[in-house]
Amino acid sequence: MAKILVIDDELSMREFLQILLEKEGYEAAVAASANAALKALAEDDFDLIISDIRMPGMSGLDFLEQIRAGGRAVPLILITAYASPEDAVSAMKGGAYDYITKPFNVDEIKQIVRSALMDTRASAPPSGVESFQNIIGQSPAMLKIFDLIKRIAPTHANILIQGESGTGKELVAQAIHKLSKAAGHRFVPIICNAIPESLFESEVFGHAKGAFTGATTDKGGLFAEADKGSVFLDEVGELTPLIQTKLLRVIQEREFKPVGSPHVVKINVRVITATNRDLEQEVIAGRFREDLFYRLAVVPIRVPPLRERKGDVPLLVRHFLRKYAKLFAKNINELSSYAMEVLMNYDFPGNVRELENIIERGVALETSNIILPESLKISVHKRAAANTTPGRQNAAQLFDIGMEEAVVNLEKEMISKALMQAGNSKMKAAEILKISFRSLRYKIKKYGIACADLP
């Protein structure tokens, strides 16, 4: 049962909220002032706090600042009968979960309380270790991959890692190497599509002095460097048919001849490969050798895209926040609830790499101690706009006003139309727009959209 602390100097409001919350199945405690609430917090733990802003003595905003300074992360909802844009901005920048005005709708406060408690549970650190060999994740899909890595790493089997760009395939390859018997030797990454076909043999297998113009000395090649260790062939699906044939022989025979050399070089390497292509389909289409595929994919591993493991997003966010707050020397250690909701509702076409970029940019841009949605600058609305049938403005007009203003205009229009279609019911409009009720309320306030006071 969730425990909620209500702070308000008005007895009637304290009693009203206590009765309302207890009817909803929560355990509710009350305090007549911020100082009384601090004493209650010293004696007990609460899952949520609801506080008035304007109270005698310490205000709700000062109370919020004090508990945040003390390291408490409990979500706090601020309420007031005297709404002002300044208070709203101060509340959200100070780390409040939400900000609502009196008189409020009963269904509205119920929804906000439910959302706050659900978001807190969703973003709470899971029990146990959050990472494995520098791979952040505790979702069922990632736990299965961790278990598979531990089982196959001690073997000498070739591994094929498949997954979209940005999912962390190289981290998986590094984990396999670090847990293998070859851990004391080199891990050599080779990005296959970064080496022109004409240079591939020379770079990967080496060459003899005088083999071609410019070959002034013998060169061992990357496979020779990886001897007794692991070679990681990234984007292996991009290899040309000729290189595929040469690679097959090396993997089968564990030997090769450097370009222009009569001497055979014996090697003992663990071959780990990765691709964002479906190699089985590439084999069917005749673009990838079937025999090479089976040599590479002795043990296949599929790394899921981030949209399939959304439960790992809060873990990754915390990791990247710590990383870039330290790098940029900023005192930022959390996202606002709205910012986290934006991320949880985003599909991340660029996967973990894109999330890291978003957080890095957010930390760089943010001027407060908490990242707000405006600092994320993600492309979710831009992608939605790009997939929408063009409306009144043509491309030239959109370029004139700029992308951000065009996105704002599109959001306003979509919200207004959804409210009209829903008969001004915010809950129904949120369902139509496929966003949360709280997110819709935030946008209505942000854009100043006129709306009847319906839930």
Please count the CA atoms within 13 angstroms of the CA of 287 that sit on its side-chain side: 11
Residue 268 has pLDDT above 50, yes or no: yes
Q: Exposed, middle or buried: residue 332 (CB in 10 Å: 0-12, 13-18, 19+)?
A: buried
The predicted pLDDT at position 303 comes to: 96
Count other Cβ atoms within 10 Å, centred on residue 397. 10
List, for residues 141-155, the tens digit of each pLDDT value.
Answer: 999 999 999 999 999
What's the pLDDT score for residue 84?
61
Helix, strand, or coil here: 123?
Answer: helix
What residue has token string 């990454």?
189
CB contact at 8 A, 94 and 86: no
Q: Give mean pLDDT, residues 336-340.
A: 82
- Range with the lowest mean pLDDT among 108-122, 247-261, 371-385, 388-402? 388-402
Q: What is the mean pLDDT of residues 329-333?
A: 87
> The tokens of 303 are what?
């790394």
Report the range of poorest mean pLDDT among 8-22, 247-261, 311-325, 370-384: 370-384
For residue 71, the model assigns a pLDDT of 64
Question: Which of the four pLDDT bands, split at 50, 70 and 90, describes residue 89?
Answer: low
pLDDT greater than 50 at residue 252: yes
Average pLDDT, integer, range 351-366: 93
Contact 403, 382 (CB under 8 A): yes
- The answer to pTM > 0.85 is no
pLDDT computed for residue 90 by the predictor: 65
pLDDT number for residue 299 = 94
User: Does residue 120 have a pLDDT over 70?
Assistant: no
DSSP class of residue 43?
A: H
Measured CA to CA, the distance from residue 64 to residue 66 in angstroms comes to 5
Helical segments of 226-278, H only: 241-253
* pLDDT for 223: 93
Residue 144, pLDDT score: 92
pLDDT of residue 121: 57
Distance CA 103, CA 141 (A): 46
Condensed to tens digits (0 to 9), the pLDDT of residues 297-311 reads 999 999 999 999 998
Question: For 22-60, how does the pLDDT look when each residue is reduced to its tens digit (9 = 90+)?
Answer: 988 889 999 999 999 999 988 888 889 999 888 888 988
**pLDDT-based confidence at residue 403 (cuts at 50, 70, 90):** low
Q: What is the average pLDDT score of the chain?
A: 84
Residue 200 scores a pLDDT above 70: yes
- Count CB atoms within 10 A of the CB of residue 326: 10
The mean pLDDT value for 410-429 works out to 81
- What is the per-residue pLDDT for 94? 64
More confident residue, 398 or 371: 371
DSSP state of 360: H
The answer to whether residue 421 scores a pLDDT higher than 90 is no
Percent of the chain residues topping a pLDDT of 70: 86
364 versus 402: the higher-pLDDT residue is 364
Q: Which domains, from first to last, does the chain contain?
A: 3-123 (3.40.50.2300), 133-304 (3.40.50.300), 307-378 (1.10.8.60), 390-447 (1.10.10)
Q: How sure is the predictor about 422, in pLDDT bands with cuts at 50, 70 and 90? A: confident
